[in-house]
Structure 1
Amino acid sequence: MSAVALTVRADEVRSSTAAMRAAVRDLAAEHTEVWTGPFPGFADALAEVARVDLCLARLVEGHADALRILDQAGAAPRPGVYGVWASRSAGTGVGARANGTGWHLDGELRFASGIDVVDRALLPGWVDADTHLLFDVAADAVRADRDSWHTSAMDASRSFTVTASMPCGADDVVGPENFYLRRPGFLVGGLGVAAVWAGGAQSVLEQVAAGLRRFTPSAHQVRRLGVAEQAVWQARTVVAATARRLPDLDGDRLARETTAARTCVVTACEQVVDEAQRIVGPGGLSGDARLARTLADLAIFVRQHHVDLAHEAAGRHALDTREPTG
């Protein structure tokens, strides 16, 4: 059972950016021991937050990920709520140039989540194509293009394209060169995101089931609900099982198993979204604002995982693996 007690309501948290900011701050401040604690409990807590709202969970996961990164680097967090802005989508990214007193960051970065919500962000600055440093920066030091997100799905995560042009001191650098991508926790962090996806799938299931209880559902609807429940069980179970196995995994095994877990969760989420849409039909999709929002959020959120690349890598591993013969 999750150690996070949630009192916020889904409609309230999505009512305004101020409401989202207040909810994120409360969860960040009240449960630091969960966000920095053992991974099984951490993953379970993220899933519970996602049952309320996926954007809320996305921002809480970003803050928790930042705290865990800072801990791995032996650095203390500064006051406030954190995000992690590390996308290099479409060739974007922030460059880092040494100057007389430290560094100057300059460039464009997509999907900087938490604009107007978080206080600080961990941001990789690229010294060259193969070398980066991780910087702890003030979130309001970047210029955000608030017109860069053109869908209502995950809109409350405030994930905008930002432009950085700022000086940073040597004390703003977190960890050694190439720390962010090469630390073992990088792969593990992706399992935290998968826990959020799994919680979102469970939220969809619960909302659809609540709607069906208002009348006598058809046998087809009940069957499809059962398929969705099975998919949610698979998603939650694979996250929990992988989280327990983390102490025994390293190197290639860690990469393969965390990637496989994320792929399983994405597949389950896609099945839940499809079954839910078929169960409720146009009436449910157009008449239930929260369900429509959760379905749209989950559908776009899981797209950040490259399923085809994961399957290709798994296939190549299968081809390269030789079972011992007797």
Structure 2
Amino acid sequence: MPDRGPVVLADPTEDEQDELQDLVDRAVETGPDVSGALDLAREIGEALPTPGSGRTAHLWSALASVAAVDLTIARTIEPHLDALAILEQAGLSPEPGTWGVFAAEGPGEPLRASRPDEAFVLDGRKHWCSLGGVLDHALVSAWVGEERQLFAVDLRQDGATAVAGTWVARGLTAVDSGPIDFSGAMAYAVGEPGWYLERPGFAWGGIGVAAVWYGGAVGVARRMVRAAGTRLPDQVALMHLGAVDSALHAAGCVLTRAAYDVDAGRLGGADGWRAALRVREVVANAAETALSRAAHALGPGPLATDEDHARRVADLELYLRQWHAERDQAALGEQLLQHGARGW
């Protein structure tokens, strides 16, 4: 298993292979530096394909390849690429600069949008705004009456203030995902009310996040392989390696199949949402298998003395909580009853 090679979900052309390797090399050079990761996001946002373009596997391979190097970089790049894809789906051109997507709901009164004149304005607190204090722009969901709508917002305006001192996470420590307070912030509608959640790309973006989890799990697995190579592994070490390999193989297969189905136009509507739930389930379980098996196989040493490994484990454990675990399993079961089983 290569230590710094790309993570490939489908057979790439020679140019695509070179592009992925160059991206890996750039990620290695950048390291866990958010400023450098944002520079990289701006650059590759103009080069990488969007989901459904016929090269979805290449896009997800790029995300996984960066994540296998460093999850801070991948966590910075992924929402920027997702925002560009959303704007393209809406038929809009992005303003220059870095982008995020803030669409999660948090506690308390939700963010509200109103339209006193030609432009909308946002008022209230939006939770889970990753890098909200350093990004240029974001796509932000807010409530207009009883409906949710997506808006493009310039985060550099006076009406958008990142709330400092709330991000105490031990994983993804540099990716501050605290709230932003909006007060009369100007915003521009992206799609009609409900469009953000109803568009096919919503499910595709969720699978893209799973590609990042997959890459992070590959990074953990590569550390296991390196450890086994420094001594004669016993049967227990080999067992852990075999279990992780099979779990990652399954995760890679479902990501590859999903990429082909997206490009073939098969993952719209309920089919897309069901596919996203399935893929995220398989990939998240594979990542948790990698984390658990690595802990058993490697013991406390790397967690205490290997900066890259300790940070990767903490980052991946936090990032995986974007998967809603048993709640997503229940949602998948509900899809099965509503729309029937497909393929079994």
**Normalised TM-score (structure 1):** 0.90
SS at 2:311's partner residue?
A: helix
Residue 67 in 1 paired to residue 81 in 2?
no
Structure 2 counterpart of 1:29, one-letter code: E
Q: State the one-letter code of the partner of 1:159.
A: S
**Corresponding residue of 2:164:** 146
Counterpart Cα distance in 1 of 2:334 and 2:270: 13
Following superposition, the deviation at residue 159 of structure 1 comes to 1.3
Counterpart selection for 1:210 from 201, 226, 235:
226
Q: Does 1:237 align with 2:235?
A: no
Q: Which residue of 1 aligns with 2:107?
A: 90
Q: What letter matches 1:256 in structure 2?
A: R
How far apart are 1:279 and its partner, in Å?
0.8
Distance 1:207 1:156 in 2: 22
- Residues 154-191 of structure 1 deviation map (CA, whole Å, 9 limit, x = unaligned): 1122211221113326xx22222322122111111101
The equivalent of 1:33 in structure 2 is 47
Distance 2:109 2:83 in 1: 21
Query: How is 1:47-58 mapped onto 2 (pairs within 5 angstroms)?
Result: 47-58=64-75
- Superposed CA deviations along residues 267-288 of structure 1, whole A, max 9, x for unmatched, are 1111110001111101122111
By how many angstroms is 1:11 displaced? 8.3
Identity rate of aligned residues, in percent? 32
Flag the structure with higher helix content: 1
Question: Counterpart of 2:198?
Answer: 182
Partners of 2:27 and 2:73 within 8 A in 1: no
Distance in 2, Cα, partners of 1:12 & 1:22: 6
Matches of 2:340 and 2:91, distance apart in 1:
41
1:91-106 alignment, distance < 5 Å:
91=108, 93-106=110-123
Which amino acid in the other structure matches residue 103 of structure 2? Answer: A
Residues 117, 168 of structure 1: CA spacing in aligned structure 2 closer, same or farther, 3 A cutoff?
A: closer
* Contact 1:9 1:52 (8 Å CA) reproduced: yes
The whole-number CA distance in structure 2 between the counterparts of 1:104 and 1:97 is: 6
Q: Which amino acid aligns with 2:284?
A: V
2:267 corresponds to 1:255: no
Match of 1:300 in 2: 318
Q: What are the equivalent positions in structure 2 for 1:163-178 lying under 5 Å apart?
A: 163-168=181-186, 172-178=188-194
Match of 2:128 in 1: 111
Q: Which amino acid aligns with 2:272?
A: L
Displacement of 1:291: 0.7
Q: Match for 1:222 among 222, 225, 238?
A: 238
Contact in 2 for aligned 1:125/1:132 (Cα 8 Å): yes
- Structure 1 counterpart SS, 2:232: coil
Separation of aligned partners in 2, 1:316 and 1:78 = 39
Aligned residues: CA RMSD: 2.1
Distance 1:165 1:49, change over 3 A: same
- AA aligned to 1:46 is L
Alignment-mate amino acid for residue 76 of structure 2:
L
3-state DSSP class of the match of 2:285? helix
1:274 aligns with 2:288: no
Distance apart, 1:152 and its partner CA? 2.1
SS of the residue 1:64 aligns to = helix
User: Measured at CA, do residues 306 and 92 of structure 1 come closer, stay the same or move farther in structure 2, by a change above 3 Å?
Assistant: farther
Q: Cα deviations across residues 53-85 of structure 1 (Å, max 9, x unaligned)? A: 112111211011000100011111001011101
Quick one: distance in 1 between partners of 2:269 and 2:285? 25
Greater alpha carbon shift after TM alignment, 3-12 vs 115-124: 3-12
Q: CA separation in 1, counterparts of 2:132 and 2:36?
A: 14
Q: Deviations over 1:105-138 (max 9, x none)?
A: 0111221112344211111121123x23322112
Distance 1:180 1:137 in 2: 15
Q: Deviations over 1:265-323 (max 9, x none)?
A: 11111111000111110112211111111111111111111121222233345556778
Q: In the alignment, which of 136, 141, 163 is matched to residue 124 of structure 1?
A: 141
Residues 31 and 251 of structure 1: CA distance in aligned 2, closer, same or farther (over 3 Å): closer
Letter in 2 for 1:23: A
Q: Which runs of 5+ in 1 are unaligned?
A: none
Q: Is the 8 A contact 1:56 1:157 kept in 2?
A: no
Kept in 2, the 8 Å contact 1:273–1:295? The answer is yes
Report the 3-state secondary structure (helix = DSSP H, G, I; strand = E; otherwise coil) of the residue aligned with 2:92.
coil
Q: What's the secondary structure of 1:43's corresponding residue? A: helix
Gaps of 5+ in 2: 1-11
SS of the aligned residue for 1:215 comes to coil
Deviations 1:39-59 (A, max 9, x none): 221111111111111121112
Q: 2:149 is aligned with what amino acid?
A: L
Code of the aligned partner of 2:327? L
Match of 2:174 in 1: 156
Q: Whole-Å Cα distance in 2 between the matches of residues 321 and 72 of structure 1?
A: 26
The answer to whether the 8 A contact 2:64-2:214 is kept is yes
- Is the 8 Å Cα contact of residues 199 and 236 (structure 1) preserved in structure 2? no
* 2:5 paired residue number: none
